Chain A
Amino acid sequence: MRKNGVLEETSWEEALDLIASKFKEATPQTFGLLASGKNTNEDAYVLQKFTRAVMGTNNVEYCGRLCHSPSAAGLGPTVGSGVMEISEIDIERADCIFLAGVNLKETFPLMTMRVLRAKEKGARVIVMDPRNTASARYLGDIHLQLKPGTDAAVLNAMMSIILNEGLENKEFIASRTAGIEELRQYLSSLDLKELEEISGVPLETIRDAAMAYATAETGCVLYDQGLNQHTTGADNVKLLASLALLAGHYGRPGTGVNPTRGQINGEGTGDMGCLNVFYPGFKRTSEDVAKSFEEAWGVKNLPVKPGFPYTVMMQKVKFLYVVGTNPMMAAPDVNSVRQSLEDLDFLVVQDIFPTETAQLADVVLPAATWVEREGTHAWVDRRVQKIDQVIDPPGEAKPDWWVVCQLAERMGYKDKFDFSSSRDIFEEIRRCVPTYAGITYDRLSQAIGGIHWPCPTEDHPGTPTMFVQKFNTPDGLGHLQVVDYKPPAELPDEEYPYVLTTGRSIFHYHTGTMTRRTPKLNDEVNQGFVQINPADAARTGVRSGDTVILETRRGRIEAQARVSADAPPGLLFVPFHFAESCANVLTNPALDPACKMPEYKVCAVRMEVKQ
């Protein structure tokens, strides 16, 4: 607890009493909670229930907002569900794999193994990435090295070529999709030469990619932040899904358009309803849904209106409860985030290490890590798996759900949070989330590799492949989307001549909370760096190892220069793991209107060598 400006050790009793008394001062408008993609399902479920039932607000979000909100917004209208549609294992069955904006080798090594197995059997791999990443070099057969943020131009060109060549899957389009005429008409109005110019990818390369994907038996799209983290993220996802519909790559093992959520429970925390517009089970906030949960939980006045999205929440609320997430590193425009967090009346941070966000907190609560507690996770491919407690938590650390139940009790909701184990919570989840209804702890302890939701009944085997018969849209059809290319919100100019893009290194994980505390990993890469194309470096006199100053309209950082042909001319790449070279001080908080995703991947930046 912060006493006289300093964080001092205290007892659980005192900390929980203080938090409860402070939270009692909050109103539904002034309270917010940020959950994590690393919580268990059980943790996430009680976190959102606490926010809704005790605090009376839908102001509950998690880092999924900052990674896969465009998946929901893009795949929703197109195919009905913003989730991975196949089992991860079935990637091995694909004969063409399209890695769209995902540096799979550095961000999803074990999925890379599936791709390698598919390649062994002859699969071709298309990589769409502005950088010549390890994935482009060692996995890719075709590299669509586009200008950042021009994904829509490339995808429209691919679809246009497929239609021009007559390679679309006519039978699939006729029986399972809607909107082909509008799409055909729109695409025929586009000038491929112009798209080539916008994207910077030679038309021949786009053609190769289009042909490889369209003529494949089993085409698999895996995509991630490179596609999502734009003000046009949802548009980009719509186009990818339209491309897959056009080629008929849906509804069979190894096909689909698959978001690669990177956190262990990136899927599950969303399933559990830690989103401002969704109650558990992706039930959109409404009178009816609120009413059904009032009955299920035995409470009154559940919130109906959507809450604030992640980045807005930090600016609007006065009481913020942050669990297992680190906005001081992860959110865009960190200087503004700091201001918002400092302006709060009360900030609680619950995590496994004292993060940059925890440094600003009034109370910091120690959480148990995954090996120190029991629970379930929903893996990237909707596969629910059980984890068992292996060791006791260190010191006073507790499972997240336990803390929430203690707080609920102090706020007069003991009977609604009367859980003595994660199993108790899971039983309530099964009653509230139809896709989990058939999954039990006992089944999970027997099932090899877990059970894929939807699993409606206890005798249901689970659903590794979705959309086999129909899509999850109201009419069951896949809806082809017409989407215009729109440029990123902030492009280079004379003052800020380079494009800045952010991403990851394999040796670190997200905001470095864990990996920077792991000596072996920190020895591999121990400071923030910026990749600079050799031509740009030569022109500006930057050498590898120099400290350079990077500055955008929002802030400035220092980073070590790494001159590398991985970065194309005009592009600077900065990984976001390093607090001392915090990439998100620089990034643009402009949001995608469809899903409130900030544009992490493109902004204008200038660079100079530190003298």
Chain B
Amino acid sequence: MKNNKILIPVFAFLILLSSAFVVVDPGYKPGDKAIDFKLKNIDGKLVSLHDEKYKESKGFIIVFTCNHCPFSKAYENRIIELNQKYSTSGYPVIAINSNNAEVSPEDSYDFMIKRAADKEFKFPYLYDESQAIAKAYGANHTPHVFVLQKVGRDLIVKYMGAIDDNTDNPEEVTKYYVNDAINSLLAGEPVAVPSTKSIGCTIKWKKS
């Protein structure tokens, strides 16, 4: 009984505290319809998933990434490989940087242009300046991948999460989550692992 007296305020406090951290919209889950966007590419032009250029695409590999994060950097070559491998079979990479440049100066638009040139990105690297797309998708950290499949005019989330199971060492990867998901989609089969979790740099939200 004595314990209960202490417990009640503790739990009340916990509930109060946890409610302060509740994310109102957690973003997408596999099977959800994803929104299209019009975001500025590093060449200054706006890119949308419904652009004429993507008319023949079967879907997209959307990668929320950035310039500064060591985990993003560790995956850059693998993102380039994914685009090489799958853009011709209908799943091009679209990279998006949603970090606020005031909070993370290295992730500014100018540095995006530089990073893309240094790494010779052959895919769009878009600036989600308002962070609305990261919020809508529920991107939480970088890199965070969403594989979308076109179904009519809709874009359906078929896989979300990590690229593979070893950030540090590409030689020791045993599970290629994104490759597996796209291979299944190309074969007309369901995606066996539709979502995974991974560690990454938190998206640098604009300070309110």
Q: Are A and B bound to each other?
A: no
B→A interface (CB under 8 Å): none
A→B interface (CB under 8 Å): none
